[in-house]
Amino acid sequence: MKKRLRIATALGALGIAFTTAAASAQSPGVALVSNVAKPQMIVVQVGELNGDRNAAIAWQAPTIWQHGSGVGRLQLVPEFSAGYADDARGSIFRNGHGLWHFGATAFLQWYVTPRSYVEIGTGPNYFTQTRLGNQEISTRFQFGDSIGYEQSFPGTPWGFGVRFTHYSNAGIKRPNFGVNFLQLVSRYSLR
């Protein structure tokens, strides 16, 4: 078990290193973006699905890679999060059936309008327990996969959206049921 966890952790780190290296490669139409290209963001997400609840706060770093501009633009953005999840048997943070989770996710964002985008992301996460209520999640190391849509508003630092996130250990250990959350997202620009 420990050997598999070390292998999965190494693969996750290798994936992040590969993503960073790929982002820094220069080719026509592709650029490494300076920190002023996109402001840093604070992200708050709250959601529930199938009786499991999640509340998280994240820091979204500046864009590290971009292709194109305006509508159709693609960009790669890292996000670092901390959150708390529990089942619906009690009040969140108070029922003793929850767990804390910490993650790093690389999001690819595709702008469908100048102020809205669709995003997909994946990255490693650490859970403080291997149970969420009555559900066994087997390992503390989990992959988090997300897909979402967000909209920002002119003249304000705010953006709002929806995000679906699936946490799973990718078959490192059985059972591997995974945990899903459908979340409302609020984003605030630190510019």
CATH of the domain at 66: 2.40.160.20
17-42 pLDDT, tens per residue?
333 333 334 344 444 444 334 568 99
**Residue 162: C-alpha distances to residues 46, 53, 64, 114 (Å):** 10, 15, 23, 18
Q: Which long-range contacts (CB under 8 A, 24 or more apart) does 6-14 make?
A: 8/141, 8/169, 8/170, 8/172, 9/124, 9/141, 12/123, 12/124, 12/141, 12/143, 13/124
Give the per-residue pLDDT at 3: 46
| Residue range of the domain that includes 99 | 2-189
Mean pLDDT confidence for 113-130: 96
pLDDT higher than threshold 80 for residue 107: yes
The number of folded domains in the chain is 1
For a pLDDT cut of 70, what percent of the chain falls above it? 75
Q: Looking at 131-140, 146-155, 167-176, 180-189, which range is the least confident one?
A: 131-140
pTM of the entire structure?
A: 0.77
